[in-house]
Structure 1
Amino acid sequence: MGKGNGSLYDDVTQHIIAQLGEGRLPWVQPWDTSLTATGLPRNAATGRCYSGINILILWDRLFERGYGAQRWITYRQAQALGGNVRKGEAGTTVCYADRFTPKDEQQKARDEQREARQVAFLKRFTLFNVEQCEGLPEKLMTVTEARPFEELVPQAHRLIRACGADIRVGGESAFYASSPDYIRVPDQAAFHEPINWYRTILHELGHNAVIRIMPHLIGSARLAV
């Protein structure tokens, strides 16, 4: 893998901090989105959506480069589909979480007649947007139409609930309090556009996620954005 899990956690966290610090929030684009794709990034070969921090990483790269597709692919997958990555194209590093059971733990568990304990780890891998490739099937290059706001609301609710954060609605300001660890947002009716209520919560969830990954950053000025 080249680098340890600690380094990978640090890299991912610093990536989030850099986005927040520069105001380049992937859920609030300060430019014309008509030339870029909306929705969740997905694997072009399998159709499976990426999750967790990989969503933010891929969104950031998509809006930075202005790609018109949310489809991503590995170098080998591009070759398997009859295409290839164009020479000179730089990939985007994302991560994959998995678990494994060490051999000594397997034997120890058998000796003690208990279930073996698994160890979590992260792996890096590189993705390319389909627009960085050539020779891929035409259907993978077609930009799909954005889903209407009404269809996205239930997904937004599920995403927010799945984060498990303490979200308190009311008041006149929005913020994340690292202690006692909660998010405050005004009532939805206070927003001029309904979508901005969800954007605000996602923004504060970004702060919440950084603290969960690197708790020693509590109180850091880099988070005050």
Structure 2
Amino acid sequence: MPLIDLTEVDRHVELELIPRSVADEIRSRVGVLERAIRDVESASGVPYPRASVAPYLLVLIYSTDISVESNAYARVIVGPSEERGLEFAIEFMAPLVLYASRRTVEAVAAHELAHYLFYLRKFRDYGAAQLLPPEGYFEALEVDEEMAIPPELIFRPRSRFIRLLRERMELGLRDRALDLRTERRWVRRGLPVVRLTQYQNAVRIPVDYIARLRIDEAVERKLSAIGWRAARR
């Protein structure tokens, strides 16, 4: 498993966008995320993509629901790569690392793996050059579920991650305590918040890079197993 990349955390300290005390707190808590990723890897048999901590809160804005914004505590980043066609990474927001319970961190780490595998399969099988986000918040919950491989196809039978994802992530992350802590300890302190519309958060990749996609052998085996399991359901 790769180490969690904290480059942006350090850069935000240098630019005086976050206090060093916040960066130190992130470092003291990042072990919870590292353990969650190790457990997800072990339970799924899938090498986890490169992971990083973003020193801000990401808020998604939905155009047809004027008053609705939604905290996003993690996301899959996809970009072009000269070597592999596409490069994937998982970005975890600092408030998740700082304020979430261990079970919520585990649920989010597992859910992002499900998104990662969905993207890989989509790009491999269909060459989708653009995966558009939904128009509104309630549609977003539905599409978030659709754009993730079902946990029963990823994890071993009776894995605790199947139950955890069904409890915590079935209609998007439901953690009122995390939202309240984030509002009180991050937003009200004036720490960085990035607001994006759903179109700004869309995944757009040149088609020629998608055609050059190379997938690790272990991940390819997993995608084949997922397809076999899905066909038997």
Q: TM tier, shorter chain? A: under 0.3
Larger helix percent: 2
Normalised TM-score (structure 1): 0.23
The structure that has the greater radius of gyration is: 1
Normalised TM-score (structure 2): 0.23
Q: Which has the higher contact order (CA 8 A, sep 6+)?
A: 2
